[in-house]
Amino acid sequence: MVSLVFEKTGWLNRYLSYRAATPFVLSEQYRNLAEGKSGEEIFDDCLYKEVKENGILLGCPVIKESLAEMAEELDFPQQRGGTVLLYLETMFSVAIIENQILTSASHNHSKDSYQLRLLNILLLVLKYHFPQSYYRIPKEVPLTELLEQNESLNGVLTKLEESLIDAVTLPGYSSLGNRQNIFAFSKLYFFLLWARETTRNDSSTPSKYIEMDKQLRQEMLIASAALIWADDYIASAEQQVFEKYIEQSGLEESMQNELGRRISEPVKTADVKCSFTQASINRYMVELLILLSFIDNQEAWQERELIENISQKLGFSSDELEELYFTVAEFFSVNSERLEFLKNNAAAKQLQDYMNDKVFMLVKKNVGNIMKEIEETKELSELLVKATTTTLTMEEKQKVQDQLMDIVKTIPALAIFALPGGGILLPILIKVLPFNILPSSFQEEPASN
């Protein structure tokens, strides 16, 4: 347990005071979520996109400059503050929008309504993190007044600070402030599941979801052990990482000891249990296995067969698994500078090179279909003709990129690679097209980037 003797305190109070006065700006994933669409799959899909983009899913949080400035202004702990702030922003914003949709009250945007909703979510957070404790915090008092005057609330917030630092971040120095517990998403996910159920049914207790969280951590550790035994040899780096994973799991000491003993003998695919049906949880497990396969800095594909076998058990097709590999590569290509431990990792580079080569060959194979679609898209054709004689405006260039990506999505062989932004696909597409139809400003970055 982390001691707060050397950590700043009071930052959770300052954060909630700030958020009480400054409502969340919804991210793209939630901006277009229509009122009344409250199915769990829809919520899970939006959450998955959110945590994949901000890095929480892969245990590599992306601390943008604006977030780092916010952490500094609110006087969060140095080094670890950005990570825990990103977690708080994700947890509260997602919980509030889901609560708003489930209670069909999205038409009410008054400040009082927002503060009450924020207070209700805060009380759920406290109940989930301290299920055996009771705190007298009146709902009829505005949140801003409670934060200023209520000793019970401020006492438990200090306790929650310690719990969050311990569960979400890792101790130690990081120049980018991006050291996150690998299981932080697990805690976030099961809290949100419980919050959804509580919104529908007041009598719900968090115990079932806390146990589900523990079960998932155990299953992920067993899957990780199977992966590092895939070549019948455990490298020292793999053993160290596995031991760190066990420590980060937060499981009871007896369970940690039992899991630690599992590494002393081979763990096979048959030993891996997959008890969860949620697609986001299954993607989470597979993507973390892909991440773990990079650790020993050997060729990333040595352990691919085991990842394929586990993916099949989880119900993923070969195309869906290819997409998961590609989304990991895409995340690295966009955020490589923020991911310190993979900056100089040869395995990560091999993954990107592999995916570049695969996309390159698929684009070449389908170039005829791509050109046919370009010819049938009037506005795009006109812009491409214009680009041969004059410089396009920034708005026109964006239209060209967007419409090229839209075309790619209509071609089955390339559809799974048409991710937002086309970080890998777009430059390869431009490089492979049979003649120079784009201005030089489109071709500044080589396709290998």
Closest CA to 283 of 41, 46, 57: 57
Can you tell me the distance from the alpha carbon of 24 to that of 92, in angstroms, rounded to the nearest whole number?
9
CB 370 within 8 A of CB 408: yes
d(C-alpha 108, C-alpha 112), whole Å: 10
Instruction: Name residue 180's beta-bridge partners.
Output: 169
Beta bridge partners, 438, equal none
Distance CA 317, CA 323 (A): 10
Q: How remote is the C-alpha of 425 from its chain's centroid?
A: 21
One digit per residue, pLDDT tens: the chain, 449 residues? 444 434 578 999 999 999 999 999 887 777 766 554 557 788 999 999 899 989 899 888 888 899 999 999 999 998 889 999 999 999 999 999 998 888 864 445 555 688 999 999 999 999 999 998 887 888 889 999 999 999 999 999 999 999 999 899 987 766 555 678 889 999 999 999 999 999 888 777 899 999 999 999 999 999 998 988 887 777 777 788 788 889 999 999 999 998 888 778 888 888 899 899 999 999 999 998 887 776 655 544 567 888 999 999 999 998 888 888 877 877 776 666 655 555 556 656 666 676 677 777 778 888 888 888 888 888 888 887 787 777 778 888 888 878 887 887 777 767 666 655 456 677 777 677 655 555 555 544 444 43
**CA-to-CA distance for 239 and 262, rounded, in angstroms?**
12
- Closest to 125 in 3D by CA, of 67, 223, 192, 224: 192
Burial class (CB in 10 A: 0-12, 13-18, 19+), 116: middle
What CA–CA distance (Å, rounded) separates 51 from 71?
19
Answer yes or no: are the C-beta atoms of 87 and 168 closer than 8 Å: yes
Q: Which of 287, 201, 182 has its CA nearest to residue 243? A: 182
The DSSP element (H or E) to which 280 belongs, if any, is helix 279-292
pTM as predicted = 0.80
